[in-house]
């Protein structure tokens, strides 16, 4: 897919709305008539959606939105930077005027608007297998976007009508959709995608049957439709196209993550158009966010302070906390060492005075500084670590991002089976990730707490923990007990801020959207 991205970016630049094609100076070289009245044009329009979504995950401002909820869970020590107030649930900043609140809402509705235009246009054309696949991708995108909004804000505006020059000035009914209305649309879109898509896409990075089933399984868990969730997990498990890698180290190793465990992978490239820029390669910053800023004890930001062994240049924004690391059997569970860096080495040629200790070249820093926690030398998660696509002192890289992973499907299957009272199936799915990590098979009575802990061990820092805890109704309790690092006082504020502000389990509707829709039609979420 990467070699086609330059062309797709040209399309997405002009793909701002249907009405924009009425401008006489069409710089994309594609007319409105071609895009919305031909099978090939609609395929290009769908391809542009992948660029929009990648930009959302990788843009400077928007990656802080992407990871804001990751900071506010029970397994993280959030550590400064833009968006930190979400990690500590700061009531002075977590409010309707916050930039992150607006960015997610605006970007997802932008994608939804494009999907509505594509779907409406495609339904007017002669249906062919290729066109149905294009529409299936658009419906999967719409479901993915609405599901993110629904899980984050709880109350959303549901609209499937495209904006055209004929209706752009029409009055619209703004009201919060009921949960059942949301679920009905998500099921309809995803079931269509499941029917029309192949198990594996012809081009890496595009929606396929497996990704659509994975999303439906997660939607079904939110709906408490355990049967559908289990059916999706069983279908993916039995399809024959996907399997867990035999070694946890391989799951996130290197930059190309298109392997048998990945159901859908967001593609990144250094080629122009293969990242966030049409000219100078820009990349994303995921590799910097989850590993401590060890370079400061090493002497600052000079090139020689950043080494491959320490995972290169980092910001240290969102780090594993002691609670998460305590969930692993450090002697048996391979994830403990394969997915985390626990110690940092002096890779300079100089002695480093570190508190009362002198760390010589080639030696590791102590895990504490004179017995106290040092925020710049704490363990980090290396899932997004990148020392292959960027210079070691660069802040941006081009490592692929796994959007949907088989391991998550197995954990969902374990929960669904447990909810249905089927211990045999629940343990079958649970043991997939548990044993792959080097643990002995679980043979006892599986409980929900076992799944809660395994979800943390396996899926940490993949941006779903906040939603997982919220769905179970235990977000406040888990944050109150475990969030942050007790050795770093600033990271503990969420333990009191969230219980004191229980409405923070959902984000506020963006201020400007309330004004636009009208507070009488679409009131703000309670508490904001």
What confidence tens digit (pLDDT) does each residue in 186-213 have?
Answer: 999 999 999 999 999 999 999 999 999 9
For position 270, what pLDDT does the model report?
Answer: 81
Contact 223, 183 (CB under 8 A): yes
Contact 327, 453 (CB under 8 A): yes
Task: Say yes or no to pLDDT of 9 above 70.
Answer: no
**274 confidence band (pLDDT: 50, 70, 90):** low
Task: Say yes or no to pLDDT of 62 above 80.
Answer: no
The token pair at 40 is: 């090939």
User: Using CB atoms within 10 A of its CB, is residue 331 exposed (0-12), middle (13-18) or buried (19+)?
Assistant: exposed
Task: Say yes or no to pLDDT of 139 above 80.
Answer: yes
Contact 152, 69 (CB under 8 A): yes
Average pLDDT over residues 153-175: 88
Candidate from 152-166, 355-369, 514-528 with smallest mean pLDDT = 152-166
Task: Say yes or no to pLDDT of 282 above 90.
Answer: no
Write the CA distances from 149 to 72, 99, 189, 479, integer angstroms: 17, 15, 16, 22
Q: What is the DSSP letter of 284?
A: B
For position 5, what pLDDT does the model report?
Answer: 42
For position 36, what pLDDT does the model report?
Answer: 84
Boundaries of every domain in the chain: 2-280+511-517, 282-399, 406-479
CATH classification of 2-280+511-517 is 1.25.40.390, yes or no? yes
Candidate from 227-231, 239-243, 267-271, 427-431 with smallest mean pLDDT = 267-271
Burial of 259-279, coded b for 16+ CB within 10 Å and e otherwise, reads: bebbbbbbbbbeeebbbbeee
Name the one residue in this structure whose structure tokens are 């692993």.
Answer: 328
Specify which residues 345 forms β-bridges with. Answer: 364
Cα(357)–Cα(365) distance, integer angstroms: 9
| SS3 state at 526 | coil
The token pair at 45 is: 């329009």
The pTM (predicted TM-score) of the whole model is: 0.93
**279 confidence band (pLDDT: 50, 70, 90):** low
Contact 260, 284 (CB under 8 A): no
For position 17, what pLDDT does the model report?
Answer: 39
Task: Say yes or no to pLDDT of 272 above 70.
Answer: no
Residues 415-443: tens digit of each pLDDT: 999 999 999 999 999 999 999 999 999 99
Specify which residues 372 forms β-bridges with. Answer: 369
Average pLDDT over residues 23-50: 77
Contact 467, 490 (CB under 8 A): no
Nearest residue to 231 via CA among 261, 265, 189, 194: 194
Cα(325)–Cα(382) distance, integer angstroms: 13
Average pLDDT over residues 32-59: 88
For position 170, what pLDDT does the model report?
Answer: 78
**56 confidence band (pLDDT: 50, 70, 90):** confident
Specify which residues 346 forms β-bridges with. Answer: none
User: Using CB atoms within 10 A of its CB, is residue 503 exposed (0-12), middle (13-18) or buried (19+)?
Assistant: middle
For position 343, what pLDDT does the model report?
Answer: 97
User: Using CB atoms within 10 A of its CB, is residue 405 exposed (0-12), middle (13-18) or buried (19+)?
Assistant: buried
Candidate from 20-34, 77-91, 303-317 with smallest mean pLDDT = 20-34
State the average pLDDT for the chain.
91
**60 confidence band (pLDDT: 50, 70, 90):** low
Q: What is the DSSP letter of 144?
A: H
Candidate from 169-178, 277-286, 392-401, 492-501 with smallest mean pLDDT = 277-286
Instruction: Output the CA torsion sign for 312, 318, 322, 323.
Output: negative
**273 confidence band (pLDDT: 50, 70, 90):** low
Contact 54, 268 (CB under 8 A): yes
For position 19, what pLDDT does the model report?
Answer: 34
Per DSSP, the residues of 448-503 read HHHHHHHHHHHHTTSS-HHHHHHHHT-HHHHHHHH-SBTTBGGGGTHHHHHHH-GG
């Amino acid at each position: 897919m990467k070699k086609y991205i330059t062309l797709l970016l040209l399309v997405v630049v002009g793909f701002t709305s249907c009405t924009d094609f009425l401008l006489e100076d069409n710089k994309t070289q594609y007319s409105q008539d071609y895009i919305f009245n031909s099978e090939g044009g609609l395929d290009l329009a769908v391809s542009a959606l992948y660029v929009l979504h990648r930009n959302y995950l990788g843009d400077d401002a928007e990656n802080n939105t992407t990871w804001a909820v990751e900071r506010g869970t029970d397994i993280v020590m959030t550590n400064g930077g833009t968006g930190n107030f979400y990690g500590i649930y700061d009531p002075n900043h977590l409010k309707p005027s916050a930039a992150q609140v607006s960015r997610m809402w605006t970007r997802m509705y932008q994608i939804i608007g494009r999907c509505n235009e594509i779907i409406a246009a495609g339904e007017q054309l002669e249906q062919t297998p290729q066109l149905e696949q294009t529409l299936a991708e658009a419906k999967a995108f719409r479901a993915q976007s609405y599901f993110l909004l629904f899980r984050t804000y709880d109350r959303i505006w549901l609209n499937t009508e495209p904006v055209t020059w004929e209706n752009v000035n029409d009055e619209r009914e703004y009201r919060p959709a009921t949960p059942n209305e949301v679920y009905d649309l998500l099921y309809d879109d995803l079931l269509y995608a499941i029917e029309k898509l192949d198990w594996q896409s012809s081009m890496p990075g595009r929606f396929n049957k497996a990704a659509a089933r994975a999303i439906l399984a997660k939607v079904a868990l939110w709906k408490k439709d355990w049967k559908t969730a289990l059916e999706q997990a069983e279908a993916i498990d039995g399809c024959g196209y996907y399997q867990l890698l035999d070694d946890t180290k391989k799951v996130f190793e290197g930059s190309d993550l298109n392997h048998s465990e990945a159901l859908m992978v967001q593609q990144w490239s250094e080629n122009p158009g293969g990242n966030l820029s049409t000219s100078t390669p820009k990349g994303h910053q995921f590799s910097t966010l989850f590993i401590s800023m060890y370079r400061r004890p090493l002497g600052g930001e000079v090139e020689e302070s950043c080494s491959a062994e320490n995972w290169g240049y980092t910001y240290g924004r969102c780090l594993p906390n002691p609670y998460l690391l305590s969930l692993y059997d450090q002697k048996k569970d391979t994830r403990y060492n394969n997915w985390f860096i626990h110690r940092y080495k002096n890779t300079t040629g100089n002695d480093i005075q570190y508190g009362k200790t002198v760390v010589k070249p080639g030696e590791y820093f102590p895990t504490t500084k004179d017995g106290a926690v040092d925020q710049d030398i704490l363990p980090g998660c290396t899932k997004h670590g990148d020392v292959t696509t960027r210079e070691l002192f660069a802040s941006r890289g081009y490592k692929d991002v796994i959007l949907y992973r088989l391991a998550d499907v197995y954990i969902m299957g374990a929960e669904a089976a447990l909810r249905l009272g089927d211990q045999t199936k629940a343990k079958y799915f649970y043991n997939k990730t548990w044993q792959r990590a080097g643990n002995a098979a679980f043979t006892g009575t599986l409980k929900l707490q076992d799944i809660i802990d395994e979800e943390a061990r396996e899926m940490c820092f993949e941006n779903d923990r906040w939603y997982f805890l919220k769905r179970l109704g235990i977000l406040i309790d888990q944050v109150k007990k475990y969030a942050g690092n007790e050795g770093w006082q600033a990271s503990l504020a969420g333990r009191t801020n969230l219980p004191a502000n229980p409405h923070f389990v959902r984000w506020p509707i963006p201020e400007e959207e309330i004004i636009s829709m009208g507070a009488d039609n679409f009131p703000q979420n309670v508490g904001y």
